[in-house]
Amino acid sequence: MIKKILAAAALTLAATSITAGAVAAEGSPDAKAGGATERVGAAAVSPSVSPAAEKTFHRGGGLQNYNCPSNRLCVDVWDPTQGTYKVFQFYRCQTHALRGFYSSYTPEIENDQTTGTRSYFERSRGDRYVQSTAKHAERGINWDPINYIDVC
């Protein structure tokens, strides 16, 4: 009798966990708009770049109402581990590999480098997807196909 009770309790617990996970995934910032595929089941990863950016910090509004410092390229992306935006500030001309960058909410870039300087957002090394020419104010970007940032 005790074995039957324990087995029933285990099944109930398993069903509750599966349902809770599905509900959590629906409301996660990784859910795509327009009915596209969701990133369900993936462990939350804090976005990062390699080599490291000059400066990285978390900010509730991301780049909104933030002045990217002169001669810098600034980008923001949602950080699911912190529940806020993570801002990356780049200064050095080099290529950075992206990890954990997903388009959620409204990611943005702001290019405040020297006028005319170009930065490229690449799918694979050398496959330029988006170009940003300094100086320009904030603009949206879709991180999903981008794996590298080539700063100037």
pLDDT digits (tens, 9 = 90+) for 94-131: 999 999 998 765 778 999 999 999 999 999 888 899 99
Predicted local distance difference test score (pLDDT) of residue 136: 81
pTM of the complete model? 0.70
128 beta partners: 122
Phi, psi (5° rounding) for residue 120?
A: -120, 140
Buried b (16+ CB within 10 A) or exposed e, 38-60: eeeeeeeeebbbeeebeeeeeee
Over the chain, what is the mean pLDDT? 77
**pLDDT value at 30 more than 80:** no
Alpha-carbon distance of 63 to 85, in angstroms, equals 9
What per-residue confidence (pLDDT) applies to 142?
86
Interval 58-76: pLDDT, tens: 999 999 889 999 999 999 9
